[in-house]
Each structure stands twice: as structure tokens, then as C-alpha cells.
Amino acid sequence: MNVLIDGSVLEGGGQILRNSVSLAALLGKHLTIEKIRNGRKPPGLKNQHRTGIELAAEIASARVTGATNGSCEIDFVPGRIAGGTYAADPVTAGAATLLLQISLPLLLFAPSSAPSTLTLKGGTNATSAPQIDYIQHVFLPFAARHFGLNVAVDVRKRGYFPKGGGEVHVTVSPGVDGAKLTSASVLERGAVTRIGGIAHIAGLPAHLGRTMAESATKRLAACGFGPDASVPVPVEIESKREKNEDTVGAGSGIVLWAELAGGGMIGGSAVGRKGADAITVGEEAANELIKGLEAGGAVDEWLEDQVVILMALAEGTSEIRCGKDGLTLHTKTAIWVAEQLTDAKFDITVEDSGHTVIRCKGIGYTAPGDVNK
């Protein structure tokens, strides 16, 4: 059956492309996407989108037409998914994390007990995608705890805009014997138990990284998050200057994360840029974390949309408490895509407290050919 996806719906960006291709590959569905990135200027595929499609096609032995830069329509006919060793490089500062986003679901269900490996190049820390440190310290720990993922990330080289050139090695352990993703229930936020972080810098003086970390720590303390607060919270923000041989070009950034007693995670981040000093960048990351905490959810707005595909694939009913600001457009888009391509059933409710709860009866996906399917 050919599934037609309108790439101009809701968020209208690359997320529709990535989630649609991943789900179509897993479910063996012939996929056509039209009006790709219709909400962007210019529309159509860029290097990183094309590279992501090519990576997914290699993993899923797919036939693809239309995967050229500027194309607004592709046709994707998946074959059999195979684990193994794969590499992808957009040859730009295109985000390595977005290459992981399209390929990770496939390798989670590769019909093999041996781990698969990905070598992903490009940008590791940019403003247009999750920083690699967010994936390492927020998304993956949450997904491991609640959905059963076993994924390790090793940042070999950092790549900053505009040169890119970063390199990330990812090891993905599939579910042995067709194991399904477990459903997640994260309805209680609980207290903040710890705040961690990393201020990273390359090709610039090391003191700038320390300044970012100190600035973020000071801002968090002013809002009641610190060891001397009325309710003490450990705050541990590492400052790390990369070796010159471990980066291409110069750049900086900071990623913070708050661990919650109820099993939730809230992140905040900022990337260094021209015209913003280290104090400002540190404060921006802290303000983003504080905003996420004040929203009162068990996940932040970025984690909220990234776990939708896992909820759809998991066995049983997952339920996630989100903040009081309502679902983001990215989250609504992820849910829409999942409903177009799977039989997962989503239910969105607003509690009396004002928090939004996403519930999803997942499809309990296992790889084709598994005896338990």
C-alpha cells in the first residue's frame, strides 16, 4: 500500500520527513512525501535531509527516487532492515543529531543480536537541532529508563557552524529476540534531584567555558536551584575545552539538564555566537532550563516531541505529563505522522492542573519475521 504524506502539514519541516521515512521503513510501507519542507524558505531537501534519507535507505535496503537537493517530493520503497556498520556525512554543518533521529528507530529493530554502529559527521552543536550533549544526557537516559533503549554515544570531534566536521560514533543494541519497546508512564514530576551540565568550547580560550558554567550556576541559584537553596539541589556543570585536533573550527555551547524524582528530564541549552558573550550564553541556557521547570511537566518541549515515535512503537499504553503551555507544533506534527503510518492511538487531555498529558496505545512493534509478531 502506498502511503501519501503531505509535507506541508502543521510544522511543515524536516521532522515530517524523518519520522515518516523511519516508520515507513519499519512497517514496510511504500511511502510518497510531497511538498517537502513546504514551510521553509527555500523549500525542499537540503544536504542533511538528503543524507538522512540515503542513510535510512541503506539500512532498510530501500529504493528511493527524488532524493536530490531542492526536491520537494520523494518516493521511498523499503526492503529488509539490516543491522551493521553505517556512516553518513552531509559535508556541511548539517546536524549529526538529525541523522541519528532518522536512523535510530531502524537499528533498534534490526534483526540481529549484535549491536550496530553509526559514524555520523556534520554539526554536533547548532541552534537548529538538538545539541549532541542533549541527546547524550537528556533524550537517551530518558529513553533508556522508560522505553528500554540501549544506545551509547561517543563524541570524537565537535563540529560547529559554519564548518561542521564533527564526528559522532553511536552504538545501538537492538532488542534481542524481537523484544518490544516498553511503555512509559511518567505522570508525576517530583522534585528536582540534581542539575548537571556541560559547557564545551573549542578553538577559544578555556576561561570562556568556565565563565559559561559559572554564569549558568549563578542564574540557577538566583531562581532557587543550588546547594544553598531552601531545598538544596546539587548543581554540577562541567567546563570542557576540546583539544585542537578534536574539532574543526572554533565554537562553544552549553547544555544543562535537571533530573526529576518522578523519572522525568528537563533540558536547557544555548550555543555561542557572534555578539553574545560567555556570560549571556550561560544565562540563556539557565533561563531555558528554568522555563522548562516552571512549566511543570516531566519532560521539556524538545523531549516531548522526540518520544512520540517511541510511544507509537512501544507495547501497551504510554503516558507522559507535559507542561502547562500546551503541546508544541513539533509534537502535534510527530503525533499526526505516527497516526498516518501506524495504528497507534493517541489521546491528548488537559488536566485540572493545566498540564497536558499525552497517552498512546502503541502497536508493540517487532521486526518482521519475528515469531512473536
Annotated binding site for ATP: 101
- CA–CA gap between residue 314 and residue 308 (Å, rounded): 10
Output the known binding site: 101
Which of 175, 115, 99, 116 is CA-nearest to residue 143? 175
Neighbours of 71 (CB within 10 A): 18
**DSSP secondary structure letter of residue 44:** S
Whether 330 is catalytic = yes
Give the bridge partners for 247, in sequence order. 158
- CA–CA gap between residue 159 and residue 162 (Å, rounded): 9
Which of 331, 338, 336, 330 is CA-nearest to residue 365? 338
Which of 160, 138, 167 is CA-nearest to residue 272? 160
Selecting among 49, 200, 330, 355, the annotated active-site residue is 330
CA–CA distances in Å: residue 277 to residues 57, 215, 272, 283, 320: 42, 11, 8, 10, 36
Question: Catalytic residues, which ones?
Answer: 330
